[in-house]
């Protein structure tokens, strides 16, 4: 065990303070078992308010049709699809943290993965609203499913990227939900076994599915987590790839680009990590979980942000180069006139995108900035504004001035109901997140305990000095036949 | 479904648990289960449990998803109602790869989670006997099955000797039943 548990002193601890297993349980269950703070109530009420605004906006749209939105020729996709892509992108960080980092054996993921996975699920729920309500006749939404119908049956078009999207988003939501919940079951069992109140015993008893933590169950649980991680990894890449196909397979200048899949995936992880930072910088403070979501976690995520931000930056430049190199006048017009030209009607949006996504994250090359909470929070908001504008730029600036100048709609601006719908998804997202942080452990209990003796501050301190011993001495002293 | 007699010992450190498991097996006692608050790598092997076949099940579900997608789309777009989409061939496999992939992942994930729940007997309103509530918090609980031949005192002494704390004799139900954790009623009558 000693040998397996050893991790170099070069790596800082991931759990601060003098913790044992019971203390970890106490710390993480405390927010669930105590009454919510005033701050929680304020946040929750604001979120519900936004959600109601959203419901009103959607009701208006359903009653009076999509004409309630300022979509028109040639801007058939405006805020709605921008918001759709933005929310789906945000979801990606959760899967990246829970799945890809599990495969890469990154210990730090355990502090943030549960909240990030929850964020994924809520973000995908928000994203799904947009294409659904955009349909207009939403009561016919089930037409997108290939079911035996009385019209032939006339099947859906399996060659269409929009149908691929239906499958991608619904699969992504289902798999994320299963992954998240199967991870939650043991932690819910912990809450159940600690419960004093009748309703808690009942609620967590039902939710924990009768989990006991037997070794055989854990063995299967580990196998399940690993395979689900292995499945989610290509899945998350495929989802944003398919979202990018919505654009890339068209022949619209500005959309018809082979670079879209990797560019969209990098952008999705970029904005998703920014949203994780927004949530966790606040969560760790409000729920007093600073020992579990440490500066180390914040710094690592900022490193991911500067990496993916730079990848996105290279993608922007590549697009410009390809527009010039292709020598297609329409491509050139889309990129150099509609976007790059600050004096064009929507040129400002391109430069907001460039400033927020490419220039501003470069500050994270400096270590002290990566560990600055206020700056991290500010940057996380800025990046998500930038990433929203990226989608706006891609979608709207490519279509608002097309081949025919007489049909140009040079000032596409949203109506109150378009804005309200977007705000409503914020309401949905944060209502869900507030409820999650109240009723579920926001940190993966069992997983923190799993790494505690390797990455806990007090345990690491005990291991100090091991590096000074020779390897032979070390294995004689600490190693033993583990498998037999 | 049967109530059996168990002798349980609690361990507070996996460093003690691992050698203890080995000693128990060497002494020839039957380990009913070890309950732990988090997965301990290598404990399954130490206990002599065989590897799970959940991976294989997942692979089979995945293949089923692939076959379903390719088979269904092929039938729908070439046999049942072939439609000319932009002059492309009816059988346009490359365009079906995204949906095929998604269904592979969907079938594999849903199938595996359902199999996992089935094997571990996990479902809402399922209730099982717990040897020690702290086994989901910070304690590793080892339950040894007692037979007619076992001498309780001998096993208790043995468990104390290998580092177990609070060793006790417990009568527990081995299976599951439908019930709620806030109520003690069992749907099935206990046999003594």
CB contacts, 8 Å: B187 with chain A: none
* Contact between residue B80 and residue B15 where contact means Cβ atoms under 8 Å apart: no
Is residue B13 less than 8 Å (CB to CB) from chain A? no
- DSSP code at position A356: I
Flag if A219 and B36 touch (Cβ within 8 Å).
Answer: no
Beta bridge partners of B169: B7
Average the pLDDT over B95-119 and give the result. 95
Q: What's residue B181's pLDDT? A: 85
Chain A residues with CB-CB distance to B185 below 8 A: none
Q: What is the pLDDT of residue A3?
A: 46
Share of chain A above pLDDT 90, in %: 65
Query: What pLDDT is attached to residue B163?
Result: 86
* CA quadruple A198, A204, A210, A212: dihedral, nearest 10: -100
For position A1, what pLDDT does the model report?
41
Check whether A4 has a pLDDT greater than 60.
no
Contact between residue A445 and residue B4 where contact means Cβ atoms under 8 Å apart: no
Binary contact (B109, A178; C-beta < 8 A): yes
pTM: 0.92
Q: In A135-197, which residue ranges form alpha helices assigned H by DSSP?
A: 161-194
| Tokens, residue B7 | 């002798």
Calculate mean pLDDT across residues A465-477: 60
Sorted by where each begins, the domain ranges of chain B are 3-51+129-178, 54-119
pLDDT confidence of residue A96: 86
For residues A63-83, give the mean pLDDT: 89
Closest in A205, A220, A449 to B181, CB measured: A205
CB contact under 8 A, B126 and A198: no
At residue A475, does pLDDT exceed 70? no
Q: What are A396-443's pLDDT values in tens digits?
A: 999 988 888 888 877 788 999 999 999 999 999 999 999 999 999 999
For residue A473, name the pLDDT band (cuts at 50, 70, 90). Answer: low
User: Could you give the CA distance from residue A366 to residue B95 in angstroms, rounded to a whole number?
Assistant: 45
Average pLDDT over residues A2-6: 52
In this structure, the dihedral spanned by the alpha carbons of residues A423, A427, A429 and A432, taken in order and rounded to 10 degrees, is: -170
Report, as an integer, the average pLDDT of A93-106.
Answer: 86
For residues A340-356, give the mean pLDDT.
92
Measured on CA atoms in the order B165, B166, B171, B173, is the torsion positive or negative? negative
Query: In this predicted model, which residue has the larger pLDDT, A454 or A305?
Result: A305
Mean pLDDT of the A467-471 span: 57
Least confident of A134-138, A477-481, B78-82: A477-481
Contact call for A164 and B130, based on CB within 8 A:
no
Average pLDDT of the residues in A252-267:
92
Q: In angstroms, what is the C-alpha Rg of chain A? A: 24
Query: Are A14 and A296 spatial neighbours (Cβ–Cβ below 8 Å)?
Result: yes
Q: Report pLDDT for A107.
A: 82
Asked if residue A483 has pLDDT above 50, the reply is no
Task: Check residue B192 and give its pLDDT.
Answer: 46
Cα gap A221→A218, rounded to integer Å = 5
Q: Which two tokens stand for residue A77?
A: 């996709």
Give the B window 34-73 contacts with A, CB below 8 Å: 34-47, 49, 51-52, 54-55, 58, 62, 72-73
Q: What does the alpha-carbon distance between residue A407 and residue A392 come to, in Å, rounded to a whole number?
A: 20
Closest alpha carbon within chain A to B131: A212
**Which pLDDT does position B186 carry in this prediction?**
65
Chain B residue numbers with beta carbons less than 8 Å from the beta carbon of A210 are 121-123, 126-128, 176
| Residue A75, token pair as written in the block | 């801007």
Candidates 2.60.220, 3.30.70, 2.60.40, 3.40.50; correct CATH number of B3-51+129-178?
Answer: 3.30.70
Alpha-carbon distance of B102 to A84, in angstroms, equals: 19
pLDDT above 70 for A288: yes
Q: Pairing relation of β-strands B126-128 and B176-178?
A: antiparallel
Distance CA A418, CA A80 (A): 7
Query: Which of A6-15, A211-220, A340-349, B94-103 has the lowest average pLDDT?
Result: A6-15
Q: In chain B, which residues have their Cβ closer than 8 Å to the Cβ of A242?
A: 98
HSE-up (13 A, CA, CB side) for residue A43: 19
pLDDT tens per residue across span B54-90: 999 999 999 999 999 999 999 999 999 888 888 889 9
The full set of domains in chain A, from first to last, is 2-461 (1.20.1630.10)
What is d(CA B66, CA B72) in angstroms, rounded to the nearest whole number? 10
pLDDT tens for each residue of B137-153: 889 999 998 887 778 88
Q: Is B127 helix (H, G, I), strand (E, B) or coil?
A: strand
Per-residue pLDDT, averaged over A90-105, amounts to 87
Q: Indicate whether B157 pLDDT > 70.
A: yes
The most confident of the ranges A104-113, A291-300, B61-70 is: B61-70
- The pLDDT score that the predictor gives to residue A484 is 42
Banded pLDDT at A482 (limits 50, 70, 90): low
Q: In this predicted complex, what is the ipTM?
A: 0.93
For residue B59, the model assigns a pLDDT of 96
């Amino acid at each position: 065990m000693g040998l397996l548990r050893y991790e170099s002193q070069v790596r800082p601890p991931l759990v601060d303070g003098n913790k044992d297993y019971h203390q970890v349980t106490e710390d993480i269950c405390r927010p669930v078992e105590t009454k919510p703070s005033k701050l929680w109530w304020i946040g929750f009420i604001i979120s519900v308010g936004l959600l109601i605004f959203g419901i009103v906006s959607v009701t208006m749209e359903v009653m009076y049709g999509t004409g309630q939105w300022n979509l028109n020729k040639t801007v058939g996709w405006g805020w709605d699809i921008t918001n759709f892509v933005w929310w789906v992108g945000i979801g990606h960080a959760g899967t990246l943290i829970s799945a890809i980092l599990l495969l890469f054996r990154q210990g730090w993921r355990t502090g943030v993965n549960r909240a990030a996975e929850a964020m994924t699920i809520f973000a995908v729920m928000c994203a799904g609203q947009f294409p659904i309500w955009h349909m207009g006749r939403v009561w016919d939404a089930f037409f997108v499913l290939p079911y035996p119908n009385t019209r032939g049956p006339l099947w859906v078009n399996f060659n269409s990227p929009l149908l691929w999207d239906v499958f991608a988003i619904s699969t992504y939501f289902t798999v994320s939900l299963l992954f998240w919940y199967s991870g939650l079951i043991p932690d819910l069992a912990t809450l159940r076994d600690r419960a004093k109140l009748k309703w808690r015993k009942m609620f967590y008893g039902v939710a924990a599915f009768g989990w006991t933590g037997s070794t055989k169950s854990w063995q299967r649980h580990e196998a399940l987590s690993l395979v689900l991680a292995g499945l989610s990894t290509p899945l998350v890449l495929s989802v944003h790839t398919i979202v990018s196909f919505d654009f890339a397979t068209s022949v619209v200048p500005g959309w018809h680009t082979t670079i879209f899949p990797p560019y969209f995936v990098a952008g999705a992880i970029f904005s998703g990590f920014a949203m994780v930072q927004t949530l966790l910088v606040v969560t760790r403070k409000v729920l007093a979980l600073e020992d579990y979501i440490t500066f180390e976690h914040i710094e690592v995520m900022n490193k991911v942000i500067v990496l993916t931000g730079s990848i996105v930056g290279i993608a922007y430049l590549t697009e410009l180069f390809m527009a010039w190199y292709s020598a297609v006048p329409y491509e050139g017009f889309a990129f150099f006139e509609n976007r790059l030209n600050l004096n064009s009607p929507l040129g400002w949006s391109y430069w907001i995108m460039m400033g927020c996504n490419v220039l501003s994250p470069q500050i994270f090359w400096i270590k002290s900035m990566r560990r600055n909470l206020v700056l991290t929070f500010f940057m996380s908001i800025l990046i998500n504004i930038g990433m929203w504008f990226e989608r706006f730029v891609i979608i709207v600036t490519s279509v608002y001035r097309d081949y025919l100048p007489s049909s140009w709609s040079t000032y596409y601006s949203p109506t109150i109901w378009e804005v309200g719908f977007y705000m409503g998804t914020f309401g949905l997202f944060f209502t869900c997140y507030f409820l999650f942080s109240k009723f579920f452990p926001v940190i993966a209990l069992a997983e923190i305990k799993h790494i505690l003796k390797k990455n806990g501050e007090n345990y690491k301190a005990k291991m100090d000095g091991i590096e000074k011993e020779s390897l032979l001495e070390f294995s004689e002293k600490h190693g033993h036949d583990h498998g037999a | 479904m049967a109530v059996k007699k168990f002798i349980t010992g609690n361990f507070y450190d996996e460093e003690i648990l691992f050698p203890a498991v080995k000693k128990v097996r060497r002494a020839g006692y039957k380990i009913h289960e070890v309950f732990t608050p988090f997965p301990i790598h290598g404990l399954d092997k130490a206990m002599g449990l065989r590897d799970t076949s959940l991976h294989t099940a997942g692979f089979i579900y995945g293949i089923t998803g692939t076959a379903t997608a390719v088979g269904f789309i092929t039938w729908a777009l070439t046999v049942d109602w072939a439609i000319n989409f932009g002059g492309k061939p009816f059988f346009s496999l490359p365009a079906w790869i995204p949906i095929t992939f998604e269904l592979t992942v969907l079938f594999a994930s849903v199938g595996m989670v359902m199999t996992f729940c089935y094997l571990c007997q996990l479902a809402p309103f399922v209730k099982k006997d717990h040897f020690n509530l702290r086994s989901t918090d910070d304690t590793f609980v080892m339950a040894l099955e007692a037979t007619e031949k076992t001498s309780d005192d001998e096993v208790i002494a043995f468990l104390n000797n290998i580092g177990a704390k609070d060793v006790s004799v417990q009568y527990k139900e081995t299976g599951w039943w439908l019930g709620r954790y806030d109520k003690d009623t069992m749907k099935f009558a206990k046999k003594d």
